[in-house]
Amino acid sequence: MYVLNGIKVTGGIPLQGEVQIQGSKNAALPIMAAALLNKGTTVLLGCPKISDVFLMETILNRMGVRTCWEGNTLEIHAEEMKSATVDADAGSQMRSSVVLLGSLLGRCQEAVVPYPGGCVIGKRPIDLHLDALKGLGAVFQEEDGMLFARAPRLQGAVISFEKSSVGATQNGILGAVCAKGETILLGCSKEPEVTWLCRFLKAAGAKIQGEGTTTLRIQGVKTLHDTKFQIPADRIAAGTYVCASAITRGSGVLLGAPIEEMGALLRAYEKIGGQYRYNSGKLTLHSLQATMPIKLLETQIYPGFPTDLQSVFMAVLATAKGESCIVENIFEDRFKMVSQLQKMGAQIEVSQNKARIQGTELTGAKVKARELRGGAALVLAGLAARGETYVENRHFIDRGYEDLCRDLSYMGARILKD
């Protein structure tokens, strides 16, 4: 008897159909944090209804911020925020809670934040976050697993990141927006989620130059103002559905897919034999010939192949006709789901950060998700496998997908959640 936290998939059905791409998880979370810098109302359109967003909402609520939903529109009323302390239980469950450091210091000159949690995909230290905020004048102290930060007066500075970090760049931006004077951030991440955070802040009155590049110039302002902002489409969700089409050798149409952010994924899709066209907001997929292996696929910082799509693309390559190789350069523990794919018959050998995949036919099995993207990869493997697959721990998948089962059903999959 199965526990009621899983997904049941019947494989062997080539997908076809249309699906609307949800709002971006990785853009929405830092923008929600940034909304604290405005002592008023922020309206986010197209916000994804996923568990990580609800968890961030809970964190904001417990600090005295009021929120309300209408469809996928989220209103954040931060004028009566009463606390600069992030709830220890909620904050420790989600790594994105660390970006609250910059916005809380910018608004309250203090912050108390738990060490962040989230998916178990390897070490993700926050030293770069702390260094950036220290450069602006923050002082930190650790006590009982909590970070106590204070900054009586944030001051603009020149800050250079030793390596590209999305979260550290975002924290540096959030700390600098209301700091006194000019801040120059060097070595910034160019990931789209950083660019979208800058666009949101500029819409709310921030003075930022250089978004989309490795150098950002931020002139501090005293206050931000109310704004209404559209959360962009989720490039990782869109990439997942491209892979779903590929692994089933099907077709399909993705509505609102952000193809300008999906270049590396679509190039890999073409290499395995997939074909696509884009017209008037519709990405049309033809995957009947998506059976070829890839000699070498390496994850890289943007605009390279995203680590968040490595697992789902591995599932596709596990069914290819020939041998492929994936090198994971971002997180050292992104291969956690390999043992579960092997339960389905996948022929994968892992050595350090390299996986060699010999394509074969997969067979349905009972498998277990251990993190978000690996869980989605197991669902996709189930779409291609002979027979029925049951993926346990659906709650991991719900952290990033509004309703994976609903969307795949729109594309013709036989899939149920319980």
List, by residue number, the catalytic residues: 119
Paired strand residues for 417 = 7
Q: Could you identify the residue written with the tokens 């199965």?
A: 2
Q: Could you identify the residue written with the tokens 């603009």?
A: 156
Radius of gyration, CA atoms only, the chain: 21
β-strands 110-114, 146-150 pairing: antiparallel
SS3 3: coil
| C-alpha to C-alpha distances, 316 to 7, 248, 256, 352, nearest whole angstrom | 19, 9, 23, 21
Q: Which two tokens stand for residue 273?
A: 């034999």
Tell me the residue length of the chain.
418
Element holding 315 (H helix, E strand): helix 310-317
Query: How far is residue 207 CA from its own chain's centroid?
Result: 26
CB 297 within 8 A of CB 305: yes
Query: How far is residue 190 CA from its own chain's centroid?
Result: 15
For the stretch 64-69, contacts whose Cβ atoms lie closer than 8 Å and that sit 24 or more positions apart, written own/partner, are 65/36
Q: Is the Cα torsion angle 19, 25, 26, 32 positive or negative in sign?
A: positive
Whole-angstrom distance, CA of residue 74 vs CA of residue 91: 20
* Helix runs in 216-262, H state only: 235-247
Whole-angstrom distance, CA of residue 226 vs CA of residue 299: 38
CB 300 within 8 A of CB 255: no
Whole-angstrom distance, CA of residue 162 vs CA of residue 146: 25
Contacts of 47 (CB under 8 A, 6+ apart): 23, 28, 53, 72, 73, 74, 231
